Amino acid sequence: MSIRLAAVRLFKNGRQLVRHIHKSKISSFNRAAEPFPGPPAPQPRPSLVQQVTQQARRVVVDAVLSRVTHSVAADLRRKVTRQLLFGDSRPFFALVGVSLASGTGIITKDDQLEAVCWEIRDAVNRSKNLRSNQLFKEDLPEIGLANLEFGPEPLAKGCSAVVYPARWRNENPEASTSNGNAHVDSSNSIYEYPLAVKMMFNYDAESNASSILHAMLRETVPAWSRDFDVVQVLDYTATGRLSSLSPHANIVEMYRVFTDRIPDIPGAMDLYPDALPARINPSGSGRNMSLFLIMKRYDGSLRDYIVKNPPSPRVGQLLFAQLLEAVAHMKMNNIAHRDLKSDNVLVDLVDGDDVCPVVAVSDFGCCLADTDHGMNLPFSSPHVDRGGNAALMAPEVACARPGPFSSINYSQADLWSVGTLAYELFGMDNPFAGKGATLYNRTYKEEDLPALPDSMPAPLRALVYAILSRNPSKRPSPELAATISQLVLWAPSEWLKSREMRAPSSNEVR
């Protein structure tokens, strides 16, 4: 038996040895057959944006990895094991895939940095705002107007909705709702009413949840929870195609969404009589039921904030960076807002008027959030809805022509709209909208763009001009634009002043 085993092993190992010898000969032959390399072709000089990004990435990689000791690596390995067994293992399997594809079995510096960045993102995602968690009311299985108390005065009213301050109803029997009338208190303070309830005007959809979903589903894209019956949701086929937008610091906090009967609120007859149903206003045109969105209450719109508190150059940079982060997050989720303007951006003055506010993009009623088509909208007919504000449509959207095989790519459209808002953030009129409009998005040329103020850093001015390029392929991606804006904000000034673009040392990073 031992002789037979030895013969089998000899045959097996001998075959592997022969394959190895032939493989080495073929490799040497291929190397000998390679032509002699000629002089390298001249490479185009990278732009300022590319140089800043490359140098900053190299510095961050070296600085982060220089701090990773063996003990930290061991801790990461233990976390990997726990994450694979009990948590979200997708980021780590992605690293394994990169390692296997490289063929070396060794994780590179970029892979290690990605693992560290994933740890940072995971820690940030776990750090929830306590106030937001309390407002979310996740423990309530069903939500309706019976769970809410409204403030005395509305916060805002538009052509399609009205927004009221609100709070969760206490166990106060006097605050009960009867005969469809919503309880209204006398105070309107944001501390007394930390919620905002947006009531959509319903003129067309039938008074049931399914029909209302058909008409207003896009409004619920940023919602954390939708309070609809499962059968009703499944009956609506478009619900399965709707992209959901994960929570983000610069996206409106929309806690719950539900349908209910239109309440009889004091002052409604004077404010929006046509939107009321006949049971409240005999001459009204509204339906009995509509969609209600429960959101965090903000301090106002970005437009109002700019008018009342003209931002300093530093605050303007911070606001611009936040808008770019919001656009990058939406694109990462394959969602195009299509109606970005200063009226649709909310501000949160949580730290007072003298501190830069937190901005949040809201009003997703015109958004494109289709999992089937992504950010490409089939444009077979001129009746296809292109989006919201026509003045702030990107050129590729405004100039698109319908056809049997035509489509509109919105992947860079929101970025262009934010580029126009940069003028408002730095004390100038928007050149494409409003009273100071001098350019038309269909016909303008890049050289016609108004000069940005000298108070803006030169790299940021170059970034805005690049964002407003007519050709979407010449614009930076939203992710790159957000990265550059953050570097301009937080990187040492010496990094941007040097014409030689010298890579900063590790000591400078520290």
Type of residue found at 20: H
Rg (CA), the chain: 29
Residue 7 CB coordination number (10 Å) = 10
Whether residue 182 contacts residue 148, with contact meaning beta carbons closer than 8 Å, is answered with yes
- The phi and psi torsions of 395 (rounded to 5 degrees) equal -55, -40
Task: Give the pairing type, strands 254-261 and 223-226.
Answer: parallel
Residues 6+ apart with CB under 8 A from 10: none
DSSP, collapsed to helix, strand or coil, labels residue 441 as coil
Whether residue 251 contacts residue 326, with contact meaning beta carbons closer than 8 Å, is answered with yes
- How far apart are alpha carbons 414 and 477 in whole angstroms? 11
The secondary structure of residue 181, as a DSSP letter, is B
Beta bridge partners of 249: none
C-alpha 292: how far from chain center: 23
| Active-site residue set | 339
Whether residue 360 contacts residue 434, with contact meaning beta carbons closer than 8 Å, is answered with no
- How far apart are alpha carbons 57 and 60 in whole angstroms? 5
Whether residue 193 contacts residue 167, with contact meaning beta carbons closer than 8 Å, is answered with yes
217-241 in b/e form (b: 16+ CB < 10 A) is bbbbbbbbbbbbeeebeeebeebee
Whether residue 340 contacts residue 419, with contact meaning beta carbons closer than 8 Å, is answered with no
Residues 6+ apart with CB under 8 A from 252: 222, 295, 296, 298, 346, 360, 361, 362
Whether residue 83 contacts residue 92, with contact meaning beta carbons closer than 8 Å, is answered with yes
DSSP letters, 106-157, are: ---HHHHHHHHHHHHHHHHHH---HHHHHHH-TT-SS--GGGEEE-SS-SEE
**Which residue is associated with the tokens 């195009």?**
336
Cβ neighbourhood burial of 460 (10 Å; 0-12, 13-18, 19+):
buried
Tokens representing 34? Answer: 């390679």
The secondary structure of residue 451, as a DSSP letter, is P
